[in-house]
Amino acid sequence: MDPELDGRPREIAVKILADVQPVAPTGTPFEPVEFEGMTVTPYVTDKGRMAFSLRATAITAPKGGKAAAAPSAGKAAA
């Protein structure tokens, strides 16, 4: 872990730019989603640190792809 991050939050916020308030696909508090029209804008804060602004145009349910499994211990990655 980066020692410079001590005491800072680990979560991020994504601003959704839409005509109506977006709702998560299933409405549960925590769920996987995909962002459409994602843009990342880097900037430097007034304290000289690099930061990023994340914006999207919509959120949708994941499109059904399987997550990549981590290699098992003792097996070499191909």
What tens-digit pLDDT sequence spans the chain (78 residues)? 566 667 777 778 889 988 888 888 887 878 888 999 999 999 999 989 898 999 999 999 888 765 544 445 555 554
Q: Are strands 50-56 and 15-16 parallel, antiparallel or unpaired?
A: parallel
Report helix, strand or coil for 21. Answer: coil
Q: CB–CB of 73/45 below 8 Å?
A: no
76: exposed, middle or buried (Cβ count in 10 Å: 0-12, 13-18, 19+): exposed
Supply the pTM of this predicted model.
0.61
Q: Give the integer Cα–Cα distance in Å for 73 and 20.
A: 47
Count CA atoms closer than 13 A to 39's CA, side-chain side: 6
